[in-house]
Structure 1
Amino acid sequence: MGSAGGWRARIGVVVPSVNTVVEPWFSAISPPGVSVHASRMFLDDALTPDSIIRMDRDEGMRAVRQLASCRPHAVAYCCTASSIVQGLEYDRHLQHEVEQAAGVAATTATQSILEAARVLGVKRVAAASPYTEEIDKAEHAFFESAGLEVTSSACLGIKDAFGLAAPTPHEIHELALRAWKPGAEALLITCLNLWSQTVIERLETELGVPVITSTQATLWRLLRIAGIDDKIPRYGKLLSAH
């Protein structure tokens, strides 16, 4: 039996050291009886493919093994950019590697997004991100390689990894509207260090399509593989209906 806080499930998150979104939000809205536990990977301030790859190589599995010591029921590797700059095959390998190191079911941010799209019946998305154009282009290539067509997009061009969390809900909403073009079946907002979940409900009402975010999809998938099926309101169709 788990501790009082995690009597239903302990969910584990591996986050870049700069992330200030995942732990507070996951903890705030996880269902009663679910506790959230984290370990961190050092990431340089400069947000580049090289710095992300270096974080994964030097810190990733150490952080997973550290997290495994609190015996989580499921683990999420919470860095969308890690997978998008290294490709779909790397992402699949990463998920397997995390599962082997942690000894439990695991997901990545991108695998969570792809599963969310499958469950929602979505194959064409408008994509918004806070990333630089270089990382944003890699993101489009990643999702296209996984069978998800990116029909339109917009990015903020943020180069500072800590600064990914700086955009306000208003700024994120404006970014999403710039990315949106009719014809997409859903709106996708990436990055787990962006407060994208704050605008999901408003955007779904305005656009009339599902909104998938890295934050929302990763929490959804993590809860489901941990055996928690509770529906959570106010953060879009994915969490409230699936």
Structure 2
Amino acid sequence: MSNANKILGHRLRVGVVIPSTNTSAQPEMDDMRPYGVTNHVGRMVIVDESLVVEPGFNSVIQAMRRATEPAIKSLKDCQLDRIIVAVSPDAYWRGVEAHAQMLAQLQDTAGGVGITCSADAVEEALARLGGLRRIGLISPYTAIGNEAVTQFFVDKGYDVVALANLGGQSPSRIAEVSLQDLRNAVDAANAPGVEAIVQVGTNVPMASFAHTAEQWTGKPVIANNTVLYWHALRMSGIDDQFDGFGRLFSCC
């Protein structure tokens, strides 16, 4: 059935694969959904273990890796046009070459449907915002995740000028941040010389706050869920612009 014959999703059907612990990505992406676009969520069943100690941290990462492909398969019969894999770790943590291999594998699992991952979305956004290379990063984790969060950007040639941690204690508790927590993280990441602030972690509810933060920093503030959804739309030929979610949706 052609898109023109669909009552719902006649412009685009987007699959969104998120961890079972995630309570932020779905509502934020629904808020960004333009007319004629529908979102269809598949859950990656993972464990809600401690992210503060290394064994728990590694267990969560392994669970995500095992659960990603089954979640994509659960969406295959929706006749999707694009799939967002709304989880950060594997998009960054095993290097540029491993990411390319992972992306090809996920696309094969999806039956050839285009895949949007955080790493590619952020890279495309920074390019469209003027080829920005000096960034401040906001991580959802404690210091245990610092090297993994920064390595992909370093490998890609970005200069990570500053890094702020939100201190998530477990996958579900990453969402338990206050507006003051987000403001403190933006202030810490907004070091001298930073051209853009990039927040990773799809369970951080930062889509609307990033728009506000741009007003006082005067710089692009790229929230993870915003850039994922923006990338999925733009790669699918939907160029709608609207206010409330930062520069990406108002200029690019």
What is the TM-score normalised by the length of structure 2?
A: 0.90
Check conservation: 1:52, 1:82, Cα contact below 8 A.
no
Find the aligned partners of 2:66 and 2:200 in 1 and give their Cα distance. 24
Q: 1:93 to 1:229 in 2, by over 3 A?
A: same
Match of 1:34 in 2: 37
1:18 and 2:28 correspond: no
Q: What do the CA deviations read for 1:37-62 (whole angstroms, capped 9, x no partner)?
A: 01111121123552243224321111
* Contact 1:169–1:198, Cα closer than 8 Å, also in 2: no
Which amino acid in the other structure matches residue 18 of structure 1?
Answer: T
Alignment match of 2:168 (pick from 158, 163, 166): 158
Q: Deviations over 1:216-239 (max 9, x none)?
A: 110100111222111121111112
AA at the equivalent of 1:119: R
Deviation digits for residues 124-155 of structure 1 (CA, Å, limit 9, x no counterpart): 10111221212122111121111211001110
Note the C-alpha offset of 1:79: 0.6
Name the CA distance, whole Å, in 1 between partners of 2:97 and 2:217: 33
Secondary structure (helix, strand or coil) at the match of 1:75 reads strand
Q: Which runs of 4+ in 1 moved over 6 A?
A: none
Match of 1:211 in 2: 221
1:99 maps to a residue whose letter is: Q
Is the 1:91–1:108 contact (alpha carbons within 8 Å) kept by the matching residues of 2? no
Indicate the residue corresponding to 1:106 in structure 2. 115
Q: State the Cα distance separating 1:70 from its structure 2 match.
A: 0.5
| CA deviation after TM superposition for structure 1 residue 186, in Å | 0.6
Per the alignment, in what secondary structure is the counterpart of residue 38 of structure 1? strand
For 1:91, the aligned partner's letter is H
Shift, 1:211, TM fit? 1.0
Q: Distance in 1 between matches of 2:113 and 2:150?
A: 30
Mapped partners of 2:42, 2:153: distance in 1? 27
Contact 1:128-1:154 at 8 Å conserved across structures: yes
Cα offset for 1:84? 2.4
1:237 is aligned to 2:209: no
Distance change >3 Å, CA 53–CA 87, structure 1 → 2:
farther
Give SS of 1:223's match.
helix
Q: Which amino acid in 1 is paired with 2:120?
A: Q
2:81 paired residue number: 73
Which amino acid counterpart does residue 116 of structure 1 have in structure 2? Answer: A
Query: What's the counterpart of residue 126 of structure 2?
Result: 117
Gaps of 5+ in 2: none
Q: Conserved in 2, the CA contact under 8 Å of 1:113 and 1:213?
A: no
Partners of 2:87 and 2:202 within 8 A in 1 = yes
**Counterpart residue number, 1:182:** 192
Which amino acid letter does the alignment assign opposite residue 84 of structure 1?
Y
1:221 maps to 2:231:
yes
Q: CA deviation at 1:241?
A: 0.8
Larger displacement relative to structure 2 (202-211 or 49-58): 49-58
Maintained 8 Å contact 1:7/1:33:
yes
Answer yes or no: is the 8 Å Cα contact 2:25–2:203 preserved in 1: yes
State the alpha-carbon separation in 1 of the partners of residues 102 and 183 from structure 2: 31
**Cα RMSD over matched residues?**
1.5
